[in-house]
């Protein structure tokens, strides 16, 4: 029986390839997924911090807050918490504001208070925060800044 030289080469390469395939190689692959924490207010995306200017008018029993609420959206691929704080930009004469969101409420302070928490959102998750006046401040106009911070717990 006579073999063609090309066929012998192919058989030899196939046998050699089979021997190489039987040896094992170890590879380690690692993937690093960065943490995503994004906050959006009125279609404006901030990385993890945003502020809202607030104006309060008190006339007797009438209290007008502008804005009366803020619609925020959170996008996260990890556990997160949204905190809120209030800073008066003028002498507030004892004005005390409150927030209400997701069935919880509290007084707005200069130090952050947690408004909402969650896990990976799988997109944008809406959080509505309403504001109110807690006490009976003197008549007048008040200005302040409400700050939101999105962070990992």
CATH code of residue 46 = 2.60.120
pLDDT tens-place string over residues 52-62? 999 999 998 89
Kindly tell me if the per-residue pLDDT of 137 is higher than 60: yes
Interstrand relation of 125-133 and 62-66 (parallel, antiparallel or unpaired): unpaired
Distance, in Å, from the CA atom of 40 to the CA atom of 73, rounded to the nearest integer, reads 5
Asked whether residue 4 is domain-assigned, the answer is no
Token output for 89: 């930009």
Q: 109 lies in a domain?
A: yes
Residues 71, 150, 148, 132, Cα dihedral to 10°: 60
Indicate the range of 18-22, 36-40, 76-80, 141-145 predicted with least confidence.
Answer: 18-22
Distances (CA, A) of 25 to 20, 29, 76: 10, 13, 37
Taking only the tens place, the pLDDT of each residue in 17-42 is 555 555 567 888 888 888 889 999 87
Residue 64: strand pairing partners: 57
Q: Which of 3-7, 45-49, 64-68 has the highest mean pLDDT?
A: 64-68
Confirm whether 117 is domain-assigned.
Answer: yes
Residues sharing a CB contact under 8 Å with residue 112, sequence separation 6 or more, in sequence order: 83, 84, 85, 147, 149
- What pTM does this model have? 0.75
**Residue 84 C-alpha from the chain's centroid:** 13
Beta bridge partners of 59: 62
- Span of 5-9, 67-71, 74-78 with lowest mean pLDDT: 5-9
Structural domain that includes position 72: 37-151
Assigned domain for 11 exists:
no
How many structural domains compose the chain? 1
Does the residue 19 lie in any domain?
A: no
| pLDDT for position 129 | 95
What per-residue confidence (pLDDT) applies to 16? 59
* Residue at 81 is within a domain: yes
Q: Quick one: residue 140, left, alpha or beta (phi over 0 = left, psi -120 to 50 = alpha)? A: left
User: Which tens digits make up the pLDDT trace of 85-136?
Assistant: 999 887 766 789 999 998 889 998 889 999 999 999 999 999 999 999 998 8
User: Residue-wise over 62-97: b if at least 16 C-beta within 10 A, else e?
Assistant: ebebeeeebebbbbbeeebbbbbbbebeeebeebeb
On whether residue 54 sits in a domain, the answer given is yes
């Amino acid at each position: 029986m006579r073999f063609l030289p090309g066929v012998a080469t192919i058989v030899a390469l196939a046998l050699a390839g089979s021997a190489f395939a039987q040896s094992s190689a170890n590879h380690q692959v690692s993937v690093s997924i960065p943490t995503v924490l994004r906050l959006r207010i009125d279609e404006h995306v901030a990385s993890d911090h945003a502020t809202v200017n607030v104006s309060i008018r008190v006339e007797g029993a009438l209290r007008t807050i502008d804005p009366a609420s803020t619609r925020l959206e959170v996008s996260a691929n990890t556990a997160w918490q949204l905190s809120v704080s209030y800073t008066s930009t003028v002498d507030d004469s004892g004005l005390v504001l409150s927030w209400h969101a997701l069935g919880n409420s509290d007084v707005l302070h200069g130090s952050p208070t947690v408004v909402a928490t969650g896990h990976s959102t799988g997109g944008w998750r809406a959080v509505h925060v309403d504001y109110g006046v807690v006490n009976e401040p003197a008549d007048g106009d008040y200005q302040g800044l409400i700050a939101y911070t999105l962070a990992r717990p």
